[in-house]
Amino acid sequence: MPAVGPDPATTAAHDGRWTRPRTYVIRTLGCQMNVHDSERMAGLLEAAGMVPALPGGAGTDVAADAASADVVVINTCAVRENAATRLYGNLGRLAAVKRENPGLQIAVGGCMAQQDRDGIVARAPWVDVVFGTHNIDALPVLLERARHNASAQVEIHESLQVFPSTLPTKRESVYAGWVSISVGCNNTCTFCIVPHLRGKERDRRPGDVLAEVQAVVDAGAIEVTLLGQNVNSYGVSFGERDAFAKLLRACGPIEGLERVRFTSPHPAAFTDDVIAAMAETPNVMPSLHMPLQSGSDRVLRAMRRSYRSAKFLGILDRVRAAIPDAAITTDLIVGFPGETEEDFQATLDVVEASRFSAAFTFQYSPRPGTPAADLPPLDPAVVSERYGRLIELQERVSAEENHALVGSEVEVLVAEHDGRKDVRSGRVSGRARDNRLVHLGLGDLAEADRPRPGDVVTTVVTHAAPHHLVADGAPLRVRRTRSGDAWQLRRDGGDACGTPSDGSAAAAVGPVSLGLPTLRVGPR
């Protein structure tokens, strides 16, 4: 058995002794999958003995954050063209910090790392570690190897080495958690780089998923979001095509789990058994993200999206028939190569008919390595003008849909960081059951009676805007929850998962760590 020396996550003093734990900052760019992957990275670093440089969370200035840290990890996205600009912009700012502090280690992971590989170190030679989407588990070892060898370490694997959900996790929120049900994607959309960077779909067994959901709930959460690149194809890899609907239903009896969400489904594989499971399982929320991308059948064919607009609208009709209060959001791409004015008008028509509560809209961005990247682009001025028209339409629809809720009761899970103006306005913010953002007035509630993040407030909507609701009257009810208790415990001295830093008995709401043994740091 190899000898175990000083823990690599401690900082060496000049006389060779090992002193304080090393500190880290993780900066996340991209989607919910990246946010969850960053939780895994944080769990790995803390399992190796590191501690957060900024316990309150990273700020908006990467250089300022890095000034407080021994290790900076940038978890990258490659879905849009500006991903590289954001990455190398951040790395450029970190170069100056590293000149001042040569001991700072910089690691780049995620989709852009999987794509650019050695090119990252070639463009930014001050980077110490590059690792991909398939070997998150290698991060602590690569950091130590880079430090020991005094040279950059680039390690990219072509297939998944360790399923991420078996890794330690440092969860960002105590009241809501992500749980991966699958990784990778089997679709072949011509605009999308994700299957190339994350590989073919691999599904977790239902028992493993439900065990992690239970662990997240036991740690204090009352909301769980099931994650996958295409959640409703879940089960195909183990031969059970109705597995996703069964998984939703199996979440229903979990005691303490009040809200279940999922993202993202694909219209081609969205079946009526999933709609029934949503409607008949009380803790599955009435919200659905259903990516349209385009309303033109011709463009959908060119995108290799295996559904057409009529099928898409039929899905929405069946969802609303079963779940009348469902809020449906979508993704839309404007300016895909070859899109004509007629095609774009078809998108406007479908958006008008769909009555989305919100839409994530993008101007087409070619990604190297995708089939669509070789197609002749549209005039940027045309794309910009169409994009403006789409935004104008969706803003109107969102405002109308939200205004229809004025005067209705909403149940809001209070969040920690879900509104920028709360301090000035005296409000708190959170998400309604249908996932709409709600800004809440608290009336004359005494400080001791104010809801904490993780608590649930029932109130009445008084105003509406395209992107949020406002409830300025006094709350009808404030329900204090286990999640609020866990948040308060963390605020008063526990870790990010609600575990007291002194290891006291209140660790009933401790961190989730599934399947990976760790070494104790320091004396017993």
Q: What is the pLDDT of residue 522?
A: 35
pLDDT of 195:
77
| Per-residue DSSP letter, 506 | T
Q: How confident is the model at residue 236 (pLDDT cuts 50, 70, 90)?
A: confident
23-155 maps to CATH 3.30.450.40: no
**Which residues fall within 8 angstroms of residue 228, CB to CB, at 6 or more apart?**
180, 181, 182, 183, 201, 234, 262, 264
Q: With cut-offs at 50, 70 and 90, classify the pLDDT of residue 415.
A: very high
- Element at 468 (helix H, strand E): strand 468-471
Is pLDDT at 64 greater than 80 in this prediction?
yes
Q: What tokens does 353 get? A: 């008919």
Helix 206-218 × helix 243-251 angle, to 10°: 30
**Helix, strand, or coil (residue 231):** helix
User: Model confidence over 125-155: pLDDT tens digits?
Assistant: 999 999 988 888 999 999 999 999 999 999 8
> Hunting for tokens 């588990």 — which residue is that?
137
pLDDT in the model for residue 266: 95
Beta-carbon contacts of residue 387 (< 8 Å; ≥ 6 apart)? 334, 335, 361, 363
Tell whether the model's pLDDT for residue 423 goes beyond 70.
no
CA 166 vs CA 64, 85, 137, 304: distances in Å: 33, 32, 10, 34
Residue 55: pLDDT over 90 = no
Common-topology check for domains 23-155 and 164-404: no
Q: Look up residue 252 and give its DSSP letter.
A: T
185 is in an annotated binding site: yes
> Is residue 251 part of an annotated ligand binding site?
no
Domain ranges of the chain: 23-155, 164-404, 408-492
Domain 408-492 annotated CATH 2.40.50.140: yes
28 has which bridge partners?
A: 75
Instruction: Report how far residue 141's alpha carbon sits from residue 343's, in angstroms, rounded to the nearest whole number.
Output: 51
Cis-peptide into 180, omega within 30 deg: no
Q: Is 31 known as a binding-site position?
A: yes
77 is in an annotated binding site: yes
In this prediction, residue 497 carries a pLDDT of 47
Strand partners, 52: 24
Examine the pLDDT at 512 and tell me if it is beyond 60. Answer: no
Question: Cα–Cα distances in Å, from 24 out to 183, 188, 400, 433?
Answer: 26, 37, 45, 35
- Higher-pLDDT residue of 446 and 351 is 351
Residue entry with tokens 């960053």:
38
Distance from C-alpha of 142 to C-alpha of 363, rounded to nearest angstrom: 37
Identify the pLDDT of residue 301. 98
Q: How far apart are CA 513 and CA 224, in angstroms?
A: 16
CATH topology of domain 164-404: pyruvate-formate lyase- activating enzyme (3.80.30)
